[in-house]
Amino acid sequence: MLQACPTLLVRDIEDQEARMDSLRKHHNPNYLSKSISYEEYTSLKQNNIAITDSAKEERQFEFSVTVNNISTSEYPNEIIIDLVIADTNGVYLKNLAPPFKSDYADIWDSLSDICSDGSGKVNNLKVEEIQSDNSPKYAIAFVLDHSGSMGEAKVKKLQSGVIELVQYLKEPDMVSITKFTDEMYTTIELTRDKFFILDSFKVVGMKGIESQGTAYYDAIQEGIKQLEKAPEDYEKIIIAFTDGEDVSSDSDKEDVIPKLLKNKIKLFNVGYGYADTEILDDMSRQSNGKFYMTVSSKEFPYVLRDIYLKLSNYYRITYTPEDCVGTHQVKIPVNMPNNGGVIIGNTSYEIDEKPMKNVGDIVFLNIEFEIGKSTITDAQSISEIKKIAMWMKGNPDHIILVKGHTDNSGEAKFNQELSVQRANSVKSKLIELVVDKARIKTVGYGDTKPLFRNDSEENKRKNRRTEIELIK
């Protein structure tokens, strides 16, 4: 290679070094380290006591809002935002919402969600604080790059960071650990036995690794395979670490992303050195995970701990926004108690027109049906149907199939008839909106095709749904 193209190779190395120099210059990570209540914080501040021990913390504390995740899967009925409030030294501010604080409304009630010329007003605002005691159960697949470019020292630091994190794990979280080069070395199959993990996974550097190369995509596939063993009530996470581009996989990004989404797996990528930051960041975003870039092996334990702490320490905000296609700008003022000032958080999300471009495409309508009924009266549901009517008027050659579904309440025969009635109710509304009835077919499936287990009122509500499929 050097003989064939030395100039290009040198230029590539110079470009990579310039990128790393820029990263080091602007790299100022803020990893969560501990938590403190607002009351404790104000008391320490009033008494001029440092919250932690590092020298840099002599400076002014500044809290900020960091949004970890926005879910629009239930739009327009509900938006879900997960966020963290932390200071510039990684101290998490807790106890600002139920179940840890009952008088919380004034802290959060200034939230706004503005789209186009809307008012920004939200309805049904609810805030819940998640801490380790009430956080979800997690199945975590560690996917760790052990290619030759990592080197012995960095691999040992990474292994130490994993062991440190495993010691933090709460019951009954589960873990698997896969080392990879161009081959997979599955060291720990998915288990909730923390003591088995600590007894089996050691800091051994590159011992036992006999191959080179980087098969990152294949390693993610191995993580997915491990997480398929997790119980249904577990949230699934892959924490993947790599220091370079994939040069050895049989699969690629287009193979991996659909599997992550299908299995509802969040991917947290950690890059180091010459990792392909653009691809890693994009994959994390698409799976509702997060991308971290590191420039020093000293960061490895702190990055891993930060990921886990933010999975188990955050505020979850849910609300009903105004129904509007386009960009939604969300402003989250957090009004601190006792005249403590206001912390402002900002985020945004996109709502697109309901897409149907190819035969077989399906969209879900957020139509609320009462148990045992097929009537449509609420404004939100009618607004959903109006969107479909507008789309059909703009695409006059297409024909749709309206598919009705129920939950499992009642007898199967009744549910079958009810699902047909619900599909026909949607058809009737579309006809009222001047859509040619010949372009609308209907079918009912009763309770035979649930999206979720009918084991809670929330899941039953989701199963009482209407789907639109483009059939011509």
Residue 297 DSSP code: G
Beta-carbon contacts of 290 under 8 Å, excluding residues fewer than 6 positions away, are 68, 268, 269, 284, 307
SS3 334: strand
| CB-CB contact of 178 with 142 (8 Å) | yes
Kindly list the domain boundaries of the chain, sorted by start residue: 34-133+314-351, 136-312, 362-470
Cα gap 288→309, rounded to integer Å: 16
Residue 279 DSSP code: H
More confident residue, 364 or 441: 441
Categorize the per-residue pLDDT at 84 as very low, low, confident or very high, splitting at 50, 70 and 90.
very high
pLDDT surpasses 90 at 274: no
When mean pLDDT is compared across 6-15, 69-78, 194-203, 312-321, the lowest value belongs to 6-15
Closest CA to 181 of 152, 154, 156, 218: 218
DSSP states of 430-465 as a string? HHHTT--GGGEEEEE-TTSS-SS-SSSHHHHHHHS-
Cα gap 356→390, rounded to integer Å: 12
pLDDT for 168: 86
What is the token pair recorded at 175?
């873990």
Beta-carbon contacts of 142 under 8 Å, excluding residues fewer than 6 positions away, are 162, 175, 176, 177, 178, 223, 239, 241
Query: What whole-number percentage of the chain has pLDDT above 90?
Result: 52
SS3 5: coil
Q: For residue 55, what are the CA distances in angstroms to 89, 284, 305, 372? A: 11, 34, 21, 65
More confident residue, 263 or 464: 263
Q: Does CATH place domain 34-133+314-351 in 2.60.40?
A: yes
pLDDT for 426: 92
Mean local confidence (pLDDT), 95-111: 92
**231 strand-pairing partners:** none
pLDDT for 373: 83
54 — alpha (psi -120 to 50), left (phi > 0) or beta? beta
Neighbour-count burial for 222-232, b at 16+ CB within 10 Å, e otherwise: bbbbbbeebee
pLDDT for 355: 62
pLDDT surpasses 70 at 66: yes
Tokens 């025969």 map to which residue? 413
Which CATH number, 3.30.1360.200, 1.10.287.130, 3.30.1330.60, 3.90.550.10, labels domain 362-470?
A: 3.30.1330.60
By residue count, the chain amounts to 472
- Residue 267 belongs to what H/E stretch? strand 265-272
On the question of a cis peptide bond just before residue 321, with omega within 30 degrees of 0, the verdict is no
Mean local confidence (pLDDT), 19-28: 58
When mean pLDDT is compared across 222-231, 331-340, 342-351, 371-380, the lowest value belongs to 371-380
Chain segment 277-336, per-residue pLDDT in tens: 899 999 998 898 999 999 888 999 999 999 999 999 999 999 999 888 789 999 999 998
pLDDT surpasses 50 at 55: no
Query: What whole-number percentage of the chain has pLDDT above 70?
Result: 90
What is the token pair recorded at 256?
């991996």
pLDDT surpasses 80 at 25: no
Categorize the per-residue pLDDT at 57 as very low, low, confident or very high, splitting at 50, 70 and 90.
very low
Which CATH number, 3.40.50.720, 3.40.50.410, 3.30.1490.20, 3.40.50.12780, labels domain 136-312?
A: 3.40.50.410
pTM of the model as a whole: 0.70
pLDDT for 8: 45
What is the token pair recorded at 72?
């629009």
